[in-house]
Amino acid sequence: MTGIVDYNAGNIRSVELALLSLGVEYRISRTPADLESADRLIFPGVGEAAFAMQELKKAGFDVFLKDWARSGKPLLGVCLGSQIIFEHSEERDTPCLGLIPGSVRKFPASFKEKGLKVPHMGWNDIAWKNGGSRLFDGIPEHSDFYFVHSYYIDPADPSVVTAAADYGISVPCAVKYGNIEAVQFHPEKSGAHGLVLLANYCGASTKGASVC
C-alpha cells in the first residue's frame, strides 16, 4: 500500500488521480499513525517552505518522516516535497527536515537579464546524471516533464543527482539518497512519462492507465 502525506500543502488530488489510473492501492492521511503500515510513501507539496514546515510540525509529520527515512522504507518527494527533505531553504531562511544534506536555492536574479522567467514553469526535458534511477525505467532520456518552481535543490553531494534540467543553469531535478528519492517536477501532471515513473515507484503497471 502507498501512503500519501497530506499536510495542507500538497497537490493531493492530482497524485490521487494518477494512482487511481494505475490501480495502485493507496491511503491519504493527515495523521502519521494512519500511514505507519504503508509499504512506501509519497510526499507531495506545493507552495512555500516555511508554511509547509509549520504544517508538518503541527501534524507531527516532521518526526514521522525522519523516523520513516531511518526505517529504510521507500520515500518519494515531489516538488516542494523534494525541497524540504533537505537541510535548509533560502525561501524565508527556513530550516527543513534534513533527510538529505544540502540546501534549496533561489534562482539567480540575473535570470531576468537572460530573459528567463521565474518561476520556472512549464515543460522541460531532463537528462540522466550518475547513471539515472530505476524510477526512469522505460522513459527515454530527454523526455519532457512539467515544472513549477522558483527555488531549486542543491545537494551537498552531487553524486546523489539522478537527473537534471537545463534552465539557465543545470538544475538538479531528481535525486536518490539511500531509500529516499525525490523529483522537482510533477510526475502526476507529466502525462504518460509521469505515469510510468509513478508506476515504477509503486511497483505497478501502466497497462490500461490513462493520462489524467
User: Is 170 part of any domain?
Assistant: yes
Please indicate, yes or no, if residue 117 is contained in any of the structural domains: yes
Does the pTM surpass 0.85? The reply is yes
Structural domain includes residue 172: yes
Known catalytic residue at 212 = no
Tell me the C-alpha distance between 96 and 86, whole Å. Answer: 6
Please name the amino acid found at residue 39.
D
Residue 191 above 80 pLDDT?
yes
The full DSSP string for 59-86 is HTHHHHHHHHHHHT--EEEETHHHHTTE
Q: 155-171: per-residue pLDDT in tens?
A: 999 999 999 999 999 99
What is the edge-to-edge ordering of all strands in the sheet holding 151-155?
94-95, 86-89, 100-106, 151-155
Residue 64, domain extent: 2-202
Asked whether residue 96 is assigned to any structural domain, the reply reads yes
The neighbour count for residue 51, using CB atoms within 10 Å, is 16
First to last CA, the chain: 21
% of the chain with per-residue pLDDT over 70:
99
Q: Is residue 207 part of a domain?
A: no
Are 154 and 102 a contacting pair, CB within 8 Å? yes
90 noted as active-site residue: no
Pairing of strands 100-106, 151-155: antiparallel
Amino acid at 142: H
> Is 210 part of any domain?
no
Q: Say if residue 32 is preceded by a cis peptide, omega within 30 of 0.
A: no
Number of domains in the chain: 1
- Would 150 be classed as within a structural domain? yes
Catalytic residue among 16, 120, 181, 186: 186
Q: What helix, strand, coil percent values describe the chain, rounded to 5?
A: 30, 35, 35
Residue 76: inside a domain, yes or no? Answer: yes
Query: Which residue of the set 79, 96, 173, 202 is catalytic?
Result: 79
Q: Are 186 and 148 in contact (CB under 8 A)?
A: yes
What CATH number does residue 118 fall under?
3.40.50.880
Instruction: Give the amino acid at 116.
Output: L
Q: What confidence tens digit (pLDDT) does each residue in 42-64 have?
A: 999 999 999 999 999 999 999 99
Q: Choose the catalytic residue: 16, 55, 181, 188.
A: 188
Q: Is 55 annotated in the active site?
A: no
